[in-house]
């Protein structure tokens, strides 16, 4: 494996003549990560999390590599991808977009390709309204999936500790079955499956014994509850479900091991952003980077690059800041990554031999803290193989779309 310094120099050679800021995806690393994600799933189909990629050419590349279907952030994204020829689109979150729902209801091809996500009867009512506005359309039923809370709840005396995201109000078999039964009574709608995303396993780095203990406890608890929910839903709707979705990049092995799970989802593991550096489930091989040009050297041991304030979503803190790849350099605590300039300082203890020298006109490389969010900052991404750019393709933003 090449060192960070060698990688940074190779990316600089590949993008010489391209003005910064520049977004880059290394295709050899991307392809290797895709193969590793499929291997880790152990034969369970892997659905691509589109929000973690946000480049249509790379979505297609992952599908060609063996991923099956795409999870989108919004119905509008799913409808766009369906028009572009992508099939089996699972909308990962509930939608209140009445116009998009009307488009779905009136389009037989979209109805065959898209599955909506629900966790509340109010969302189902909007689907009913859209169907009512599209009378006489001969099309398959609108397929829906129920999002079931997969977090871990621990009782500590009189207290209950919630480990995981605050995602769906559906958790226990009876309440999931009630909404499933309502779906079954709704004309023009069919329940396709369930989603159970265990964020407390998939989305948290293995940074300490407490976190690892929570992950082990959740991995033991969830399969039994998932099976009970599935049985209750089958009884309520009177037919089997063909989709039980689970997992993420950080939990593929755990999720795929449950025989009730028909597919797992992954996407961030294709780019491997900085937040994945602490995982033990796989060896991180970063594939997505951005390069900034040094425009001034304000003092000895400092260098200021143009732009770079690409801060990730989530709880505010240092973990959401970009991470310099160029050896021996770090963001300054006072300014961090800025809208129009990003100051860097030579790390303490990094001598001249340990830190790459930076002067005006040099390029510094960084990694975003999260995966697809980087692509919201760029209209195009440069695809690199070795030390040359082999293609330049538009991001979602470059194609005129911003879905979330």
Q: What is the pLDDT of residues 91-136, one digit of tens each?
A: 999 999 999 999 999 999 999 999 999 999 999 999 999 998 887 7
Q: What angle do the packed helices 173-184 and 121-132 form, to 10 degrees? A: 10
The pLDDT score that the predictor gives to residue 219 is: 63
Alpha-carbon distance 401 to 359, whole Å?
A: 37
**Cβ proximity of 180 and 191 under 8 Å:** yes
Burial of 353 (0-12, 13-18, 19+ CB in 10 A): exposed
Cβ(44)–Cβ(264) under 8 Å? yes
| Neighbouring residues of 191: CB distance < 8 A, sequence distance ≥ 6 | 143, 144, 145, 146, 180, 183, 184, 233, 237, 241
What is the rounded average pLDDT of the residues 322-351? 89
If you average pLDDT over residues 189-206, what whole number do you get?
77
Confidence of residue 155 (pLDDT cuts 50, 70, 90): low
Tokens in use for 335? 């300014």
Q: Is the pLDDT of residue 376 over 90?
A: yes
| pLDDT, position 161 | 63
Residue 202: predicted pLDDT: 54
pLDDT at res. 171: 84
Q: At what angle do helices 56-65 and 27-40 cross, to 10 degrees?
A: 50
CB 358 within 8 A of CB 326: yes
Closest by Cα among 120, 119, 126, 117 to 92: 117
Within 10 angstroms of residue 166's Cβ, the number of other Cβ atoms is: 9
pLDDT at 56 exceeding the cut of 80: yes
Does the pLDDT at position 206 exceed 80? no
The string of pLDDT tens digits covering residues 275-289 is 888 777 778 799 999
pLDDT value of residue 136: 73
Q: What is the mean pLDDT of residues 355-366?
A: 92
For the segment 300-326, the average pLDDT, to the nearest whole number, is 92
What share of the chain has pLDDT > 90, as a percent? 73
pLDDT at 60: 98
Cα separation, 339 vs 337, whole angstroms: 7
Q: What is the pLDDT of residue 211?
A: 62
- pLDDT at residue number 208: 63
Mean pLDDT, rounded, of the chain: 90
Mean pLDDT along residues 79-102: 96
User: In the predicted model, what is the mean pLDDT of residues 34-57?
Assistant: 97
Q: Which of the pair, 17 or 154, is modelled with greater confidence?
A: 17
What pLDDT is attached to residue 357?
87
* Rg of the chain, C-alpha, whole Å: 23
- The mean pLDDT value for 201-214 works out to 60
* Domain map (residue ranges) of the chain: 27-270, 288-399
In this prediction the pTM is 0.91
Q: What percent of the chain has pLDDT over 70?
A: 90
Architecture in CATH for domain 288-399: Beta Barrel (2.40)
How large is the average pLDDT for residues 30-38?
97
Q: Where are the alpha helices (DSSP H) in 150-208?
A: 173-184, 199-202
DSSP code for 334: T
* pLDDT confidence of residue 152: 67
DSSP letters spanning 119-185: SSHHHHHHHHHHHHTSTT---PPEEEEEE----EEEEETTEEEEES----S--SHHHHHHHHHHHHT
pLDDT of residue 218: 62
- Range 184-201 average pLDDT: 87
pLDDT at residue 139, rounded to an integer: 81
User: For domain 27-270, which CATH number applies: 3.10.20.30, 3.20.20.10, 3.40.50.1970, 1.20.1260.10?
Assistant: 3.20.20.10
For 211-241, write each residue's pLDDT tens digit: 665 666 666 677 788 889 999 999 999 999 9
Per-residue model confidence (pLDDT) at position 279: 76
| Residues 20, 31: Cα–Cα separation, whole Å | 25
Token representation of residue 270:
């294709």
> Tell me, what's the pLDDT at 210?
56
Q: Tokens 């919630």 identify what position?
A: 162
More confident residue, 43 or 404: 43
For residue 281, what pLDDT is reported?
72
């Amino acid at each position: 494996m090449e060192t960070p310094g060698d990688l940074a120099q190779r990316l600089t050679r590949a993008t010489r003549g391209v003005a910064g800021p520049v977004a880059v995806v290394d295709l050899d690393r991307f392809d290797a990560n895709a193969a590793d994600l499929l291997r880790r799933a152990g034969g369970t189909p892997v659905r691509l999390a589109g929000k973690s990629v946000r480049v249509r050419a790379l979505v297609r590349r992952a599908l060609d590599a063996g991923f099956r279907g795409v999870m989108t952030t919004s119905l509008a994204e799913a409808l766009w991808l369906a028009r572009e020829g992508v099939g089996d689109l699972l909308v990962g979150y509930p939608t209140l977009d009445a116009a998009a729902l009307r488009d779905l209801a009136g389009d037989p091809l979209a109805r065959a390709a898209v599955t909506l996500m629900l966790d509340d009867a109010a969302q189902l009512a909007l689907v009913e309204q859209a169907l009512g506005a599209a009378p006489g359309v001969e099309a398959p039923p609108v397929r829906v999936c129920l999002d079931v809370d997969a977090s871990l709840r621990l009782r500590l005396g009189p207290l209950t500790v919630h480990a995981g995201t605050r995602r769906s109000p559906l958790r226990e078999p009876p309440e999931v079955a009630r909404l499933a039964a309502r779906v079954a009574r709704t004309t023009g709608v069919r329940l396709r499956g369930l989603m159970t995303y265990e964020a407390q396993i998939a989305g948290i780095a293995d940074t300490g014994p407490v976190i690892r203990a929570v992950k082990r406890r959740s991995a033991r608890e969830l399969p039994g509850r998932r099976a009970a929910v599935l049985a209750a839903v089958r009884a309520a709707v009177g037919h089997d479900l063909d989709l039980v979705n689970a997992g993420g990049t950080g939990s593929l092995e755990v999720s795929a091991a449950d025989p009730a799970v028909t597919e797992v989802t992954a996407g961030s593991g294709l780019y491997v952003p900085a937040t994945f550096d602490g995982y033990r489930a796989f060896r991180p091989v970063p594939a997505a980077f951005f390069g900034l040009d040094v425009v001034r050297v304000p003092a000895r041991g400092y260098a200021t690059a143009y732009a770079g304030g690409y801060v990730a979503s989530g709880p505010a803190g240092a973990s959401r800041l970009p991470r310099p790849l160029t050896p021996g350099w770090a963001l300054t605590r006072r300014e961090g990554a800025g809208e129009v300039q990003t100051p860097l300082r030579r790390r303490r203890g990094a001598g001249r031999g340990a830190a790459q020298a930076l002067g005006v006109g040099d390029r510094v490389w960084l990694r975003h803290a999260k995966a697809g969010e980087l692509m919201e900052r760029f209209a195009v991404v440069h695809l690199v193989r070795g030390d040359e750019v082999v293609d330049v393709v538009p991001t979602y933003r470059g194609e005129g779309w911003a879905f979330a």
